[in-house]
Chain A
């Protein structure tokens, strides 16, 4: 267990290192950060001063080492847009993104299991076919569009829920549902197929034969085995929610988390803030990955032996 954990940790370090190299190469070698961040009419002196401020006038290897040092100290410098430390902004926004992602994927997970089981109980039946059909549509609808439709329906037409922002607790409902629906469509399919496989196993027949009640056979024995792939994929959904879908959902609902801030940083050409966001999200993702692996070994006793 300890060795396994160390291995996972090492893998996480490699990923972060990979991110460091990619970000360094893209920002310093492929593009010209000064050109991106300064207005076109900046004078040569201004450019030189700016280069000096960011340390861009030094040789590339020195820059790379400094870059690594900045990351180790979690100090990316001041945001060009808000004129305060970039990490300060990031730590303000991160909880909002995590809140939305956990709530959305949690909702998807909680709904996917009963829906998937109902579909799996009678493969090819009406509930199964309608579940597949609805999930297929859920997979095909773009998330940002889904969010906008929900706004039109529940906020503009029915006036039940607020459109955007974070003023009241009710403000999280629409973004969380938007976050949940595509993930729900994917998870239901997984619950369904792994449950169908489990229900065909001999132990299920044994359970029924010895007179166990229905909910124990399906809800406890079969569910335990079917849950494994579902847990793994929910972890993936969570990662995607934090690192990908949050950008789209937060933009649609003006939810001021890291995703929306990243888009604003791009619009205001604030590479400093963007880098800080990318690194924070990458580290969060690696952390979730490691936690997922640990949770997985706890759920599946077979993995403890290995």
Chain B
């Protein structure tokens, strides 16, 4: 009984601690308005992708040749039936933009997970094992970094043929090196610490040391890197689809829609503009979140930010509230 209540207490403490941390995080997010905007936008996008069939007013692939190249609702000839207008086949642009978010988010998440997992595992083993393994992996990474990834992508896409799976594979093959490098250097810096040595002396096997003792330390830098990479991947997918090497019709993708709109650029400006805005907002939101995360997870950056705020406040001749708060503690 005694033990159980102790355990309950511990779990309760844990929970409280987590809640406090979450609260602190939300407070910081509230203070950084740019980060807040980013998080809200991403939430909206994820909701849009998940609820696409409910939200979209039309089927994104259904053609209506009587309603071709309809302009958006706010221009003279626009109708509420097609809020963002229609394309050259009379497909509803708003529905296509909504459904396009699925592809971008799916490819982004899949590539970050695939490339991230592979890169982290390679980096962990290279850093932990050292010696020949390390040499081999680092050489491999150096070679691949020096070689332009898009060319590799072009050759693979030319031989295998474009599809969503190929895009995910190609982008993962090109993107794992960053994670590998970062993980390895982080492993090297914790390799000699007391707790890793302790774990080894106690008799943990190497995979336990690597995954249970070293990996948790890398969570926050890897998370930030993953988010930054996500932004890059969304842009890369859009570019590949634009070039005709990514998502293939009849599927929808923002990059693909820009490519089809390109041919009607003189007559129907909305075909190019709308999907482009969707890509830009997505990437901007992710970038905002990433820069906020870098700020809160890097003590050096925090200090710089703090010092900057102080000098700004001092110059304006105001009292410095942040300082007071610190001193009262």
Seen from chain A, the residues whose Cβ lies within 8 Å of a Cβ on chain B are 11-12, 14-15, 18-19, 22-23, 26-27, 30-31, 33, 36, 123-124, 136-137, 139-145, 148-149, 151-152, 156, 239-240, 242-244, 247-248, 251-252, 262-263, 265-267, 269, 271, 274-275, 277-278, 281-282, 285-286, 289
A126–B229 Cα gap in the complex (Å)? 29
Cα–Cα, bound, A149→B265 (Å): 9
- The contact of A36 among B139, B159, B309, by CB within 8 Å, is B159
Asked if B147 contacts A282 (CB within 8 A), the reply is yes
Considering only CB atoms, which chain B residue lies closest to A156 in the complex?
B266
Contact A251 B287 (CB under 8 A): no
Within 8 A of A (CB), among B221-266: 231, 235, 238-239, 242-245, 255, 258, 262, 265-266
Shortest CB-to-CB span from A222 to chain B, Å, is: 18
| Chain B interface extent, by class | 35 or more
Q: Across chains A and B, which 9 residue pairs bring their CB atoms closest together, nearest first?
A: A243-B148, A31-B159, A145-B276, A140-B284, A140-B283, A244-B150, A18-B143, A266-B158, A124-B308
B165 within 8 A of A: no
Interface flag for B30 (CB, 8 Å): no
Given contacts A11-B142, A15-B143, A274-B155, contact A30 B262 (CB under 8 A): no
Q: Tell me the total A-B contact number using a CB cutoff of 8 A.
A: 142
Query: Please, which residues of chain B bring their CB within 8 A of the CB of A152?
Result: 265, 269, 272
Residue of A nearest to B283 (CB): A140
For A269, what are the chain B residues with a Cβ–Cβ distance below 8 Å? 158
Q: Is the Cβ of B151 less than 8 Å from the Cβ of A278?
A: yes
Chain A residues lying within 8 Å of B151, measured Cβ to Cβ, are: 243, 262, 277-278, 281-282
* In contact, B154 and A247 (Cβ under 8 angstroms): yes
A254: min CB distance to chain B, Å: 11
Chain A residue numbers with a CB within 8 Å of B273 are 149
B194: A residues at CB distance < 8 A: none
What string of 1s and 0s marks CB contacts (under 8 Å) between B143-178 and chain A? 110111111101111111000000000000000000
CA distance A51 to B50 in the complex (A): 48
Cβ of B279 < 8 Å from any Cβ of A?
yes
For this complex, 5 residue pairs linking A to B, each with C-beta atoms less than 8 Å apart, are: A137-B280, A139-B231, A142-B239, A243-B148, A244-B148
Are A285 and B242 within 8 A (Cβ)?
Answer: no
Chain B's closest residue to A15 (CB) is B146
Q: Given the known A-B contacts A124-B308, A140-B231, A142-B280, are A36 and B148 also in contact in the complex, defined by CB atoms under 8 Å?
A: no
Task: State the CA gap A105–B292 with chains docked (Å).
Answer: 29
Q: How far is the CB of B102 from chain A (nearest CB, A)?
A: 18
Once the chains bind, are B152 and A285 in contact (CB under 8 Å)? Answer: no
B265 touches A151 (CB 8 A): yes
Task: Establish whether residues A286 and B146, one from each chain, have CB atoms under 8 Å apart when the complex forms.
Answer: yes
Residue in chain A with minimal CB distance to B281: A140
